[in-house]
Structure 1
Amino acid sequence: MTPNSARTAGQQLTVRTPAEFAWLVDQFVVSTPGVTHALIVSLDGLQLTASRSINRDLGDQLSALTSGLLSMADRSAALLDLGVAEYLTIRLPRGHLLFMRVGESAGLAVAAEIGCDLRVVAYQMTQFVGSVGHLLTPRMRDELHRSTTIPMPR
């Protein structure tokens, strides 16, 4: 944990700044075998935060795509009266993309290596979403979005 965030047995995780939230995303990537990238997006397609392995431009593009995929899955499920999509998995020749909602207003996108155990990745995603979902308050989402749109010093 960072010095400013804390969790003890029986307590929920607390995060006070966008930097601490970004740190949690990085820790998810580092601690989950086979995961190479992770991104949190708002469901309107805006990047909220990403692992260090995703630069801002790539994050913006992936955010729009993630939002669209989650929306498409939910809409398709609704048309067929199948409920709400729990997660999406896309298998590719050199890896996997996994997507999951984070509450009502955000989503998690994860890239994983080919050959990794997708059950472990999906389980860790579920645990991560359960740990951080309550942190994505309207205020935190706004702070995260602002922190990704502030021009970086040159």
Structure 2
Amino acid sequence: MTQNPFTRNRPDHSAWAERLRQMDQSIVRALFITDDGIRAGADSSMNIDTQDSVASVGSGLHSCAKATAGAMIPAEVGPLEVKQIIVETNLGYLMLMDAGEHTSLIALTEADANLGNVAFSMLKLLGSVGKGVGADHRSAQP
């Protein structure tokens, strides 16, 4: 099996994603992604293709939110950082949270999830992980 050159030197946060699901039973899926759309670890409920798709689209969602907020906020106010995105669907919530250097944590919840509890669990997990979460920018050459 050939290893993906873009993920070979990346940390794997799958154990942390699994731990998040254990912390809050309303979290159905959890995944760490990088800013450039690469998976950085997921819970066991997702296959690799799903992880790659969610990482790619999640990265685009983060970029879109940053561009939209940036278009509304004058540049002289200061640098813009997107800390959290919440998407409500008829089936549940998608929560994307800044997880450190070039990394985000995405959680998918059940429809009746308490978002305060979910956010608290995500922040508590990220506090436990500390600076261990993060990814360098991907270089042009694998």
Normalised by the length of structure 1, the TM-score is 0.72
Instruction: Give the aligned residue type for 2:25.
Output: P
Identity of aligned residues (%): 24
Given that 1:70 and 1:100 are in contact with CA atoms closer than 8 Å, whether structure 2 keeps it comes out as no
Match of 1:34 in 2: 26
TM-score, structure 2 as length reference = 0.77
| Correspondent of 2:83 among 64, 73, 86 | 86
Instruction: Tell me how far apart the structure 2 counterparts of residues 57 and 76 of structure 1 sit (CA, whole Å).
Output: 29
1:90-101 alignment, distance < 5 Å: 90-101=87-98
Aligned residues: 123
Alignment equivalent of 1:119, drawn from 116, 122, 125: 116
Equivalents in 1 of 2:70, 2:128: separation in Å?
A: 27
* Kept after mapping to 2: 8 A contact 1:78/1:84: no
| Partner residue, 1:129 | 126
User: Unaligned 5+ residue runs, structure 2?
Assistant: 1-10, 75-79
Paired residues of 2:99 and 2:134 also in contact (CA < 8 A): no
The code of the aligned residue for 1:72 comes to C
* Higher helix fraction (1 or 2): 1
Cα RMSD after superposing both structures? 2.2
Task: Note the alpha carbon deviations across 1:80-102, whole angstroms, 9 max, x for none.
Answer: 12843221111111111110111
